[in-house]
Amino acid sequence: MATITPTPEEMAKRVARFDELQVLETQKNPEVPQDVMDLIYSRKLKPVITLGEDPDSPFGSDAPIVGAAGITITYAICPAGTGPTLHSHHKTHETFTVMKGRFEFFWGDEGEHSVVLGEFDTISVPPQVNRAFRNVSDEEGVLQVIISGGVHDRKDILFPKKTAEQISEKDADYLKFFREKVGLEFE
């Protein structure tokens, strides 16, 4: 099989510079307070690679790199003490590598199991397992998040009833926002 040599312009479309990555559009909603957003998202989710122009992608379509053999990569940036609540993925694997800081990862129906990972440690969570994480270091932490297998859309993600209740306690309209505007599912 012959090899190909992309032009510098073609390869420039396959380069993502961390300092130029943009946060998800849904995270820019000023109507939902930060403490409610923190239940669903890492403080800043910055897509690096997406599958393309899929309106149902949980990571949007603004990543600088489109298409890489069926995976998506996002950086999850979390201030100390923050991280999203429990959720599961129906069909996709979610693999996390700690790039900066220390994170505690939880899994199980109630998040009853946990492990703390340091820089460059990796955990891969299979489909249908509730998982959450929290930055347990004293500084801003960064995770590389790789989604593989299955279908990479919002319908693949399920939040437990407890998360819906936590959001509704703040304001039922916030839960409506996540369900109707973002397209997330809750038990």
What is the percentage of the chain residues whose pLDDT exceeds 90? 73
Provide Rg for the chain, Cα atoms: 17
Q: What is the pLDDT at residue 28?
A: 83
- Residues 6 or more apart in contact with residue 95 via CB below 8 angstroms: 122, 123, 124, 125, 145, 146, 147, 148
Residue 48: band (very low, low, confident or very high) from pLDDT cuts 50, 70, 90: very high
The model's confidence at residue 183, banded by pLDDT at 50, 70 and 90, is confident
Statement: residue 56 has pLDDT above 60: no
**Composition of the chain by helix, strand, coil, percent to 5:** 25, 30, 45
CB neighbour class for 47 (10 Å; exposed up to 12, middle 13-18, buried from 19): buried
Tell me the two tokens of residue 169: 């306690």
**Are 31 and 177 a contacting pair, CB within 8 Å?**
yes
Examine the pLDDT at 134 and tell me if it is beyond 90.
yes
Q: What is the mean pLDDT of residues 63-77?
A: 86
Residues 164-177 have pLDDT tens digits of: 999 999 999 999 99
What pLDDT was estimated at residue 30?
81
Question: Which residues lie closer than 8 Å to 73 by C-beta, 6 or more apart?
Answer: 47, 48, 49, 144, 145, 146, 147
List, in order of start, the domains of the chain with CATH numbers. Answer: 21-186 (2.60.120.10)
Give helix then strand counts, H and E, for the chain. Answer: 4, 12
Mean pLDDT for the stretch of residues 45-73:
75
Sign of the Cα torsion 181, 154, 174, 79 reads negative
pLDDT at 61: 62
Q: How far is CA 40 from CA 55, 93, 120, 159, 160, in A?
A: 19, 18, 24, 9, 11
Q: Which residue has the higher pLDDT, 179 or 66?
A: 179
Which of 52, 56, 58 is CA-nearest to residue 88?
58
